[in-house]
Amino acid sequence: MKYIFQSLCPLCRKFISWSVRKTIFERSTRGVRWYSNEKITKKTKLELSNFPAENIRNFSIIAHVDHGKSTLADRLLEITGVIPKTGSNKQVLDRLQVERERGITVKAQTASLFYQLHGVTYLLNLIDTPGHVDFNYEVSRSLGACQGVVLLVDANQGVQAQTMANFYLAFESNMVILPVLNKVDLKGAQPEMVLQQLHNLFDIPPADVLQISAKLGTGIEQLLQEVILRIPPPSGDPHQPLKALLFDSWYDQYKGVIAHMAVCDGHIKRGDKIKSCHGQKAYEVQEVGIMHPTEIPTSALYAGQVGFVMANMRNTREAQMGDTFHLVDRPVTPLPGFKPARPMVFAGVYPSDQSEYSALRNSIERLTLNDSSVSINIDSSPVLGQGWRLGFLGLLHMEVFNQRLEQEYNASIIVTAPNVPYKVKISGSKNIRKYGAPEITLLNPCLLPDTAIIEDFQEPIVTGTILMPDSYLGSVTSLCMDRRGIIKDQTYIDEKRIMMKVKFPLNEILVDFFDHLKSLTSGFASFDYEDAGYESSSLTKVDFLLNGKPVEDLAMICHSTKARMMSRGVCARLKESIPRQLFTITIQAAVGKHILAREDIRALRKDVLAKCYGGDISRKMKLLKKQAEGKKRMRQIGNVEVPKDAFINALKR
């Protein structure tokens, strides 16, 4: 009987393989035990009331992408027995296919760990956060549930742009920061230099920095102990009425919305009637529990604890990030709100076949259940049909979203070139009435009002942070100038590395800036940006014409200094992708009546194949039928037949 108990995890009641039991045994001989002695049977729910707030630590790991955050999370899960230590655990908390493929974390995940120190069992709630700049919003949300962070820095690469962004994010919210150098086992590790950087930039005394190797598992035990010693327990009063912060949510196809909450005061249990401060909607709690690493129900969650709550919420829009929940009859003052997500990048998303419109609509709806930071506007284009203009937090966010649509929902989509939301001030009361306001925000360049009534054009601006070795200063500076960047500040963070603050129009860094930066600096530069509002700008609308007929969908907005270059590029791409036809086709780019670029496609002289077609015409028939099918998908602009691909190629950058 005893044997059976030992071979089941007391929390998730899963059978644990022998190899894990062995490591548990070994570990227990070293005086650290991995689970409490309390007997848990299948019938009893996990009881968390005996974890007072002082035995709880809520923390996050923040790091630049690829600095080993998810690997560290794996080790923490292993060492506390949440997952078997098989050596094959790779990014256990990264559950999405796209996360595993790209080696990035998109969706914050929570895991509850139990760890004994000096005879006391601690409940450690690890809140894994996304690493990429686009997901700063998710990071800030996750931090709201924590009292401290582990600031993870790669000992090879040193401080990177996101390390800075993450540091300030945590610093500004008064978190305890536990600096950790990772990958110290690697040959190229330069811990001394990185320690110096941390000292110069963040005033962190080198003695405070832990040195670990998440891959090999060295220093992890000490890290856990430091988490317990240095990060303060959550302050909360279990005797006050319930006050809980919703910091994340997850949509499960079968269970509906699973909200991740941090309980600040009181407790929450099944059957409680709760209400949201923001949404003002009441729900009945169906189930509560902790993530270990998947949902394990508990009888209740108490002040200071972090776990999941299922309460029949229909979609993640009802589960607003940063919302405060309380008991229906015991209202509380809401916690200070989080910054709401604001889409920065917009792109049209269309089904590649219009017959799949409603299927795609369902897919987008379901995917946004999980990602409420995506904004959705219905859009239609004469070329691409019915679709949507979706707003994303950034370019990676957009790519990830589209990849998830394709992978998880098997959707076949066309995505137009991303653009930023412009603001336009309109003159004339009649026009203002027509557009509903003196200032409109433009998501789709095709919808730009007549330039004659535009008083002022504004574009979104960001402040970029670039970190790089000083040898690349020249080439990076000219790249920034080329992208209309204004360098605001430039400082050395150690002997060799420079930090640059640059003001950019968002549009200029949208598509390939980061790629260029990386290739210019052989991958040594890192980049991050934050929103810096709107600024007036000299923007212009470029129209494209085929044999004199304007092609509405190709209208583009760009800075007047860039118009000619952009026009040439688009005309050349159109020339490549429009097949020769029975007459000459003239492609023109124009600003007003002024032609900026022109390409001609000469008329087709002969396309018939002079070949011997005897009895075997099957192949030729197949080819002709394919061409006929292709013609169906062409769009007629005047007398010119334009394949859809031509639009897509032109709209891509």
Contacting positions for other proteins (CB under 8 A) = 581-582, 604-618, 620-621, 624-625, 627-628, 630-632, 639
Nearest-approach distance from CB 199 to other proteins, in angstroms? 60
Coil, strand or helix: which one is 41?
coil
Closer to other proteins by CB, 328 or 623: give it.
623
Minimum distance between the CB of residue 532 and other proteins, rounded to whole angstroms?
Answer: 52
Closest CB 624 distance from other proteins, rounded Å: 5
The helix or strand, by DSSP H or E, that contains position 325, with its residue range, turns out to be: strand 324-327
Closest C-alpha among 74, 106, 21 to residue 367: 106
Give the CA distances from residue 296 to residues 26, 46, 79, in Å, rounded to whole numbers and listed in that order.
Answer: 26, 8, 19
Nearest alpha carbon to residue 9 among 292, 299, 221: 292
d(CA 161, CA 464): 9
Q: What is the dihedral of CA 178, 183, 189, 194, to 10 degrees?
A: -20
Question: And the tokens for 421?
Answer: 């939301």
Q: How far is the CB of 353 from other proteins (least distance, A)?
A: 17
Could you tell me where the DSSP H helices lie in 379-488?
395-409, 429-435, 473-482
**CB 583 to other proteins: min, Å:** 8
Closest to 269 (Cα-Cα) out of 237, 241, 298: 298
CB nearer to other proteins: pick between 8 and 634: 634
Nearest approach in angstroms of CB 605 to other proteins is 4
Upper half-sphere CA count for residue 515 (Cβ side, 13 Å): 7
Name the pairing type of β-strands 56-63 and 120-128.
parallel
Structure tokens, 208: 């405070």
Comparison of 186 and 617: residue with beta carbon closer to other proteins: 617
Kindly report whether the peptide bond that precedes residue 343 is cis, defined as omega within 30 degrees of 0: no
* Minimum distance of other proteins from residue 628's CB (angstroms): 4
Q: Which is nearer to other proteins, 580 or 652 (CB)?
A: 580
Choice between 332 and 637, CB closer to other proteins:
637
- Closest contact distance (angstroms) between CB of 279 and other proteins is 47
What's the rounded Cα separation, in Å, for the pair 560 and 405?
Answer: 36
CB-based contact 129:60 (threshold 8 Å): yes
| Residue nearer to other proteins on the CB measure, 299 or 577 | 577
User: Could you tell me if 23 and 303 are in contact, meaning their C-beta atoms sit under 8 angstroms apart?
Assistant: no
Nearer to other proteins, 342 or 631 (CB): 631
If the CB atoms of residues 342 and 620 are measured against other proteins, the closer one turns out to be 620
Closer to other proteins by CB, 233 or 630: give it.
630
What is the token pair recorded at 370? 């999980």
Least distance to other proteins from the beta carbon of 616, Å? 4
